[in-house]
Structure 1
Amino acid sequence: MPATVQIASPTGTTTSCCCHDDAAPGLGVSDERWSRTWLKVAIALVIAGQGMIFGLGYNTADPRPEFGTPVYWLLNGGLFLSAVVVMTLLGPPLFAETWQTLRRGRLTVESLFTLTMLGAFGGSLLSTLTGEGNLYYEVVAIVLSIYTIGKTLGARSRQRALEAAQRLRTDFDHAWIAACGPEGRRRVPLAQLKPGQRVLVAPGEPVTVDGHIVRGGGYVAETAINGETEPVRRGVGQEVFAGSYAVDAMLEIEAYGLVGARKLDAILATIESARLRPSRLQAQADRLTRYFVPFVLTVAVGTFLGWSAYVSWQKALFDSMAVLLVACPCALGLATPIAVWTGLMNLSRLGLVCGSGDFLDVMAGARHLVFDKTGTLSGERLSLAAFRVLGGADEQRLRALIEAAERPIRHPVAEPLKELGASPELVAACAVADSQVVPGLGLKAVVNGPDGKVHSLLIGTLELMSEAARAVFNKEAVDFEAKRLVFVSCDGQAAAIIALEEKLRADAEAMIGELRELGTGLAIVSGDPQPRWKDLAGVTVMGGMLPEAKVRFVQELEARHEPVIFIGDGVNDAAAMAVSSGGIAMGAGADLTKAAASAVLAGESLRALPAAIRVCRRIRQAVRGNLVFAFSYNVLGMGLAAAGVLHPVVAALLMLGSSVFVSWRAARSARIEEPAAMIEIDDK
């Protein structure tokens, strides 16, 4: 649940409880590095496109330019230099990573990329120097571009998550302690404090330690801890935690949890460690590479040794290089990015913005979707459920008086009371003469009403009311089912009971039904110990789920090899997202949550989720089919190359035809087959 609660600071400014969005405009050092990387990739792709045109023309020409002529060297030299330029621009990180993994005795996907690239480059260079065989210099640019794009997207996603965690940690790394002087306190780094010291927190300020309240009491917004947007009352002897905010009272807190020992630090540490782990697709590719690379090398070496006994070493070397070249997964290398990029684009049309292509595989394989309740399935703000007038009071006038009194108040409970539907003319005729927030209880106000009379209002909890009014309220409130009741006394008399409640998103139940049809397991968790709904569309709502409980629940599912997608919006959801296979953050969620998530639901419609699952499952099925095709194609091609019977023109046509086929199949798999749903989602 995002901390979008607006509260007034001691200086009169407005503070947003947990959101942090102060990124400076312009390019920082890291942004410049990313920009340079994308510029290099763009140059490489342009070179690859030109290389494919000239290379295909050369390979299929009959007759070809005569060996040794100026035209021959101009064409071959230009393609050679283009490959060298791309290797200079994008090759160093790949070469360095390959060398490091080989030194550690490991074969990873970097080894496959390097082997494929060197095979294409070596075979093409041999063809250039001998005048025999085909040219595949453009494969160098394609392979390096695909590798660099994947690595850059993954690194950028990890860096954003780590930067968001660090920003949040910085926001909560100081505290106020008592001191001599006009202000009566001073701000110090948490590192200078010791357990047992007392800190002071003014209304609107963050609580930066875990501790017990020893003086003061009032409402505390604990969104980062329990995910609930509604503040809770905290008083002497009760615990408060770093990441929460004092709403309406000065608190004196005895700290027991400082830097490194707070619940907030545990959440951030979980996120940081999770983002540094390799992705699932990366791990799968590495496992496949451990077997495929030795197989390719064995066939290439065997080809060279076998043919060396019958033909010249140049011919044997060319055939072995042809094995490495045909082992290049060009079909898969083109088709998989097409499927991923097309899928990402179509998911964005649904309102689901993904951080990387890994999310497509995770979404397709998810066995469980775990939803946070407040702010995800329900709205972020409390809404008006009922307004009951007592004692024959004038309802329209009373609504106007309440709206006028609450309008200047910055408090989550005050927000729905500012929109009671009173006549604008009546509200405008009201004038607040005096107003006082009573910490943890409510509001006292004196309002000049539209009837020309001065009215004394009490708006808040039962404890704020007179004994006589409490007796009336206790009798009238019996049949209210809403969790939050606000009592209103006007001129000493019980005047109204206002019921506030969470409001379920309009399409939440329809979305749950669609997910069930897809065979996906569902769970709903809430930090609220007594959630408004006990179940939603037949799914039990698990209450009292604090961040550590959500993490344990997700880990238990993952331990049973049941991949989880966690959908939430608050800082308290970020740790659960980090340990799940994938996470989806709501667009209005906290910065840290969006950074930790695999994707962000930018739109308002939850029905984008089942539509996205269908798209992702089709893409995964197509990619797996293309993998089988590419593997079969590579094995067959390697066999023909090793036998020395693969005609150059046939090889070029096969490579072109297979690439076109799997690319078309990949693009087709990522389409959205439900235009009616798309229109409905877009309209919303």
Structure 2
Amino acid sequence: MLMLMLQSGEPYFDSCTMIIFFLLIGRTLEQLSKSRVMDLTERLSGLAPSFARLLKSDGTEQQVGLEEIQEGDRLRVHPGDSIPADGIVIHGETEIDESALTGESLRRHVVPGSRIHGGTTNPIKVIEMQVLKIGRETLLGQIVSLVDQASETKTKVQQLADRVASKFVWIVLGLPALTWIYWYWTVPGEHSAWLAAAVLIIACPCALGLATPTAVLVASGLASQRGLLIKGGDTLERIGRVNEIVFDKTGTLTSGSLNLQKVIHSPELSEEHWLPALCRLESFSGHPLGDALIREAHSRSYLIPNQLPDSHHVHPRMGISGRINGLDLIAGTRKLLEDQGVQNIPKKGNYSQSLAEMRVETSVDRKWAGTLIFEDVPRKESLHVIRELKKLGIRVYLLSGDRQETVQSLAKALEIEATLGAMLPDMKIRYLKELQSDGKITMMIGDGINDAPSLHQADVGVAVHNAREISIDAADVLLTRANLESIPELIRLSRIARRTILQNLCLSLGYNTLTIPLAMIGWVNPLLAAAAMAGSSVTVVLNSLRQKKQIPA
């Protein structure tokens, strides 16, 4: 083309074709790298069924599109059907296959009152459910959004690279012009145009532009395969610099499957009168206590009401209150009941309490109804995870709203030195701010509604599997598997990704630094320049893909 414009020499169209071919190689590999994450997004979106079975008032069912479903609708799910939306089981029991959504191979047994998620599969029995969340508000929808954000958000290193690349454009334009002027006056003729073209091609900062995105996309794809959904590349970069991790207790380091050991009820009110309604109210709090109550209610053959609560309020670190089935219920700490004006609460010393127990006082219509005594045990992998984090040079903290003795007992079992109990949400935030003021990069791991402020305050917030929606919104990372062993993997993956980004930047900048002078002095022709530029892009992409070998499957 330059020969035609200058009307001198023979136009070598085969050379032009080869130059374009080499230039397209880097672009093609970039698209192949991006397609890994795009394929994941498509697979996740494909988990949702195309229709739902809507239950009419006369008990018959009608097939409708997902866009026609509304919150509060009752649906029937047949064996083999995918769950169309997030909701709660209201009739029947079955085993739910959540492997496609969370990676867990074991099926989860669900009964009336259990929460289920859209995109999972019902392989065994017919169940009826009530819709709580639809579309983008479901867990599946939020996971898809997180994957999309991971490919769109830029890291700080990438932003710096983009600024460098934007300034480099003027260098890319200026150096060929200077080369042409020098060689035109030194050796007049077509030789100067060839050398200017070689400099223009070889100075293109394509590899610099690929350095960060390819590493982030590959790392995000690897994280997704391990049940880790990261909101953006900037989050991935921060994770690698974390040196302090703060854990919540209940539902995070503990199994979240609390067992109701004992019910001490008021002589005036039998638990049959209020426990089923409390189960329904607790199911909306998202606290592990709700699951324990539901299991106990079913073991006693209690009928849990289907209707939604007339009112529902969460008191952070203290409990819940609300009205359902004609009963004004309060469940939580003794102080919560006293603040609400509940009378005749037994004194603390009336019943013995071990360190592993958790007591919940309850009231009906402002009268003490009973005491629920739960037992909470650590997850089986918690101790291993804490030890792995320490090997990575990370200091671990345990902050909980539970009483200090209970928290210290768990911390001792898990070899955690720094621990505090009786922590309100605002106290956790202040503690995180103190760590950050000392220059620490913090990660908060939690699951409940009361953890949301702390997840937002921390440099990196992680919401564990089955966390509440508000916690998912506040967090930067979502664990889709009910296992904490992915936390050390997340740290290692992020550190490898940061190292890969720096390697890519060095490779791309080193390529430009070494080859531009060679092109300017006439040692590189345009065809070789195109091959070298494509080679630098290929090298950067291959180095990014090398992360797969560094992280075991």
Per the TM superposition, whether the score is higher than 0.5 is yes
* Residue 519 of structure 1: how far off its partner (Å): 0.9
Match of 2:380 in 1: 506
Which protein has the larger Cα radius of gyration, Structure 1 or Structure 2? Answer: 1
| Alignment partner of 1:406 out of 275, 279, 284 | 275
| Alignment partner of 1:583 out of 454, 457, 461 | 461
Q: Distance in 2 between matches of 1:663 and 1:507?
A: 36
Deviations 1:631-657 (A, max 9, x none): 222211111111122034433443454
Unaligned runs of 5+ in 1: 1-64, 69-121, 154-275, 394-400, 430-434, 443-459, 489-494, 676-684
Deviations 1:523-580 (A, max 9, x none): 3333557583133532423345555554454444445544333333345544544454
Q: Distance in 1 between matches of 2:330 and 2:213?
A: 56
Match of 2:246 in 1: 370
Amino acid at match of 1:373: K
| Alignment partner of 1:618 out of 496, 519, 525 | 496
Q: Distance in 1 between matches of 2:12 and 2:274?
A: 88
CA contact (8 A) 1:128 1:135 kept: no
| Alignment partner of 1:355 out of 231, 234, 259 | 231
> What is the Cα-based RMSD across aligned positions, in Å?
5.2
Match of 2:518 in 1: 640
Equivalence map 1:207-226=2 (5 Å): none
CA contact (8 A) 1:406 1:418 kept: no
CA contact (8 A) 1:146 1:333 kept: no
Q: Distance in 1 between matches of 2:476 and 2:508?
A: 28
CA contact (8 A) 1:551 1:579 kept: yes
Equivalence map 1:179-198=2 (5 Å): none
TM-score for the superposition, normalised by structure 1: 0.46
Q: Distance in 2 between matches of 1:338 and 1:674?
A: 19
Q: Distance in 2 between matches of 1:657 and 1:277?
A: 27
Compared CA separation, residues 328 and 369, structure 1 to 2 (3 A): farther
Match of 2:19 in 1: 135
Amino acid at match of 2:481: G
Q: Distance in 1 between matches of 2:188 and 2:459?
A: 54
Indicate yes or no: 2:490 matched with 1:606: no
Q: Distance in 1 between matches of 2:430 and 2:169?
A: 38
* Residue 667 of structure 1: how far off its partner (Å): 1.2
Indicate yes or no: 2:396 matched with 1:522: yes
Q: Distance in 2 between matches of 1:145 and 1:666?
A: 11
Match of 1:416 in 2: 292
Q: Distance in 1 between matches of 2:452 and 2:495?
A: 25
Q: Distance in 2 between matches of 1:418 and 1:368?
A: 36
CA contact (8 A) 1:441 1:464 kept: no
- SS of residue matched to 2:229: strand
CA contact (8 A) 1:364 1:614 kept: yes
* Residue 298 of structure 1: how far off its partner (Å): 5.4
Match of 2:92 in 1: none
- SS of residue matched to 2:396: strand
Compared CA separation, residues 140 and 567, structure 1 to 2 (3 A): farther
Deviations 1:367-403 (A, max 9, x none): 222333344334557532x33899xx9xxxxxxx746
Q: Distance in 2 between matches of 1:510 and 1:566?
A: 18
Unaligned runs of 5+ in 2: 38-151, 283-288, 304-324, 364-368
- SS of residue matched to 2:445: strand
- SS of residue matched to 2:220: helix
Match of 1:665 in 2: 543
Q: Distance in 1 between matches of 2:371 and 2:403?
A: 24
Compared CA separation, residues 324 and 657, structure 1 to 2 (3 A): closer
Match of 2:148 in 1: none
- SS of residue matched to 2:295: coil
Amino acid at match of 1:356: G
CA contact (8 A) 1:369 1:567 kept: yes
CA contact (8 A) 1:615 1:670 kept: no
Q: Distance in 1 between matches of 2:354 and 2:239?
A: 44
Q: Distance in 1 between matches of 2:548 and 2:224?
A: 12
Compared CA separation, residues 360 and 321, structure 1 to 2 (3 A): farther
Q: Distance in 1 between matches of 2:424 and 2:551?
A: 39
* Residue 516 of structure 1: how far off its partner (Å): 0.7
Q: Distance in 1 between matches of 2:30 and 2:474?
A: 24
Match of 2:444 in 1: 566
Compared CA separation, residues 371 and 415, structure 1 to 2 (3 A): closer
Amino acid at match of 1:135: I
Q: Distance in 1 between matches of 2:494 and 2:527?
A: 37
* Residue 622 of structure 1: how far off its partner (Å): 2.7
CA contact (8 A) 1:530 1:543 kept: yes
Q: Distance in 2 between matches of 1:279 and 1:623?
A: 10
Compared CA separation, residues 667 and 335, structure 1 to 2 (3 A): farther
Q: Distance in 2 between matches of 1:439 and 1:389?
A: 16
* Residue 474 of structure 1: how far off its partner (Å): 4.0
Compared CA separation, residues 290 and 340, structure 1 to 2 (3 A): closer
- SS of residue matched to 1:523: strand
Match of 1:260 in 2: none
CA contact (8 A) 2:461 2:475 kept: yes
Q: Distance in 2 between matches of 1:350 and 1:366?
A: 20
Match of 1:482 in 2: 357
Match of 1:326 in 2: 202
Deviations 1:493-544 (A, max 9, x none): xx99752244433322221111111112323333557583133532423345
Match of 1:308 in 2: 184
CA contact (8 A) 1:346 1:671 kept: no
Equivalence map 1:86-105=2 (5 Å): none
Q: Distance in 1 between matches of 2:370 and 2:448?
A: 34
* Residue 144 of structure 1: how far off its partner (Å): 12
